Amino acid sequence: MAASAEFVTELTRNQRQLHAFILTMVWDFEEADDLLQETNLALWRKAEEFDTTREFLPWAMQFARFQVKAWLKRRQRVPPAFNDAAIDRLMHRSIDAARRGDARRSALEDCLQRLPDAQRKLLARRYSPDVSVAEMAAQHGMNPAALSQALRRIRIALLACIERKLSGAAS
């Protein structure tokens, strides 16, 4: 059984969301890690059934949901709050949150590409490890306060661009 490249990409891309969904119900990182691995194994076994025309995350969440329910049953501690309807609500909220995050990331990437090259490089340098504003200011022959203000203006412009894109996508 060979998994498609698209399946592997989607499985990898959605690990954080699957783990977060599982963690909301088990409240234990080690148990959540184990359940994520069980979910991944189940997904791999069914990789050939993945329909690439549909969204991956809702499909994968069903596997995680099943693994969590089995785990709760094995431990004979199914809290009343975790009936099927509650688990379904958590699953749908997790999927919605992931979609919003994907939309924000996509908008950020697009808005970053629209920045002038010098501004994009300045931001990238600022978010590099172990780089301070004072160091950057000295390298650019600027006052640190002026550089901070320039970075602030770039971030404000990015935020405005992201919000425009998201409001346009929502309407």
CA distances from 107 to 67, 78, 100, 163 (A): 34, 40, 11, 8
Indicate whether 93 and 139 sit together in one domain.
Answer: no
pLDDT digits (tens, 9 = 90+) for 2-58: 568 889 999 999 999 999 989 888 888 899 999 999 999 999 999 999 888 898 999
Structural domain ending residue among the three candidates 106, 123, 142: 106
- Is the pLDDT reported for residue 76 higher than 70? no
The overall pTM is greater than 0.75 = no
Lookup result for tokens 């199914």: 78
Name the percent of the chain lying above pLDDT 70. 92
Indicate whether 102 and 122 sit together in one domain.
Answer: no
Each residue of 75-89: b (16+ CB within 10 Å) or e? eeeeeeebeeeebee
The pLDDT of 102-112, averaged and rounded, is 87
Indicate whether 119 and 73 sit together in one domain.
Answer: no
pLDDT grade, residue 73 (50/70/90)? confident
Indicate whether 67 and 39 sit together in one domain.
Answer: yes
**153 is in which domain, residue-wise?**
115-171
Indicate whether 99 and 25 sit together in one domain.
Answer: yes
- Is the pLDDT reported for residue 87 higher than 50? yes
- Better pLDDT: 49 or 105: 49
pLDDT grade, residue 171 (50/70/90)? very low
Indicate whether 156 and 90 sit together in one domain.
Answer: no
Domain count along the chain? 2
Indicate whether 3 and 31 sit together in one domain.
Answer: yes
Report which residue type is found at 146: A
Phi-psi map region of 148: left, alpha, beta (phi>0 left; psi -120 to 50 alpha): alpha
pLDDT of residue 14: 92
Secondary structure (DSSP) of the chain: ----HHHHHHHHHTHHHHHHHHHHHH--HHHHHHHHHHHHHHHHHTGGG--TTS-HHHHHHHHHHHHHHHHHHHTT---GGGSHHHHHHHHHHHHHHHHHHHHHHHHHHHHHHHS-HHHHHHHHHHTSTT--HHHHHHHHT--HHHHHHHHHHHHHHHHHHHHHHHHHHH-
The pLDDT of 103-119, averaged and rounded, is 90
Indicate whether 92 and 151 sit together in one domain.
Answer: no
Asked if residue 37 lies in contact with residue 83, where contact means CB atoms within 8 angstroms, the answer is: no
pLDDT grade, residue 104 (50/70/90)? confident
Summary mean pLDDT of the chain: 86
Indicate whether 90 and 137 sit together in one domain.
Answer: no
Report which residue type is found at 125: R
